[in-house]
Structure 1
Amino acid sequence: MWIIDDWTDKMEAMYHPEEEENEKRYCAVLIFLPGMGSISKLMRYLLKSSPCAETFRQHYLFIPFHRVTAGQHASRLFKRLESVDGPRIKCVLATNVAETSLTIPDLRYVIDCCRQKVKKSKNYLEVWWAGKFNCLQRRGRTGRTCSGTCFHLIPEKMFHFGLPEQLEPNIAREPLEGILLQSLCLSNGRLIRGLDELLTFYKNLPHDPETRRVVLSASMLREAGALDKA
């Protein structure tokens, strides 16, 4: 399902106080966001500024799920909500770390912003459109333990014709200086000697970088004194 309007009312509608005997009395919602900053911002809005804030505070349990907080909230993430007086809906706000190998009990709804952070420079992450494959992975988080619905926050036409099938692998996007140094460290500086061996090493990777990028990165490391000139 594709929606581009305000969806907080849809989240509020997921709470069914009149359905006491219905299997939907307790359920989970998984919202995919680009990063921890957007997770914190959305939580503040839903709990403090949203017109539905009172409902969210009383009946929703919000759990941030990021690579930094994953271990901290694991027990709450996989525990079913069963208390009559407690929250009825578990709302997990996650980055793309939750795309695979994650099964949340009673997950009936996935809300996907269709975006993620990608590394475009040495120390900077940019918010970018996710690949279609990533969006389908996110959709697949629901429907595992019960029937479910996925909302993609993007026009359907853009989903089919505007998103890339898959994002380029990290080695094709990121600067190679750090990756090159890691390769040398893993080999203890012995397995890779000279530019020719370095190029051969990268050619054996599933997604080998362009030769000119490897040469340029090696040159920059030599100039910085991080790589022998021999």
Structure 2
Amino acid sequence: MTLALYGHPFSSYTWKALIPLYAYDVAFEFRIVDADHPENVSVVQSAGPLGKFPVLQDGENLLFEATTIIDYIARHHTGEGTLIPDDPDAAIGMRMLDRVFDNYVMNSMQIVVDEYLCNAESPDMARCGEARARLEKTYAWLEDWLRFYPPMDHVTLIECAASPSLFYADWVHPISDKFPRLRSWRAHLLQLRPVARCVEDARPYRPFFPLGAPDRD
């Protein structure tokens, strides 16, 4: 049975799961989760406790959480040492960075987005300010970390996690000139073939983003 990924083209975590599938030319079927496809919504709701996408279906297996999906793809559908290093210590370091992008970039960005989605006219500016401050601190940390992680075309768990989180975070809290390495790396990531494909597929949905739809990406 062909793999199936359930998600939405505008979803950052769906991107995270799509990027390794595109990067390593893994055969799969994309099944969009929206109001026009209730059968796909039902699968997602059955997979995890909160019914969130992305969900990967492989035969009778249903997996949720993007990082878990990438672990599964790495183990069963790509060559060894591609997405995640074979060396256990190197893998631990990579998973730590994966958590940085999910918990410190993506989650902080989402706080601001949720405020504007819930109350576009009067978002909680104090809460938004705290989230933006966390993003600024994380940008500074990543700027320093990038001294030891030069841009490359090989897609690993790090690129899968970094690409969608930095794409949207820069819309919410722009990466300033204070962080030239981070700005350059974001631009590099968006030029990678699998990431560029996600950017283009998501383009029609940009008007739904509450903080505008930048034309520069």
Q: Same fold judged by TM-score > 0.5?
A: no
- Taking CA–CA contacts closer than 8 Å with sequence separation of 6 or more, which of the two structures ends up with the larger relative contact order? 2
TM-score normalised according to structure 1 size: 0.28
Q: Which has the larger radius of gyration?
A: 1
Between Structure 1 and Structure 2, the one with more helix by share is 2
TM-score normalised according to structure 2 size: 0.29
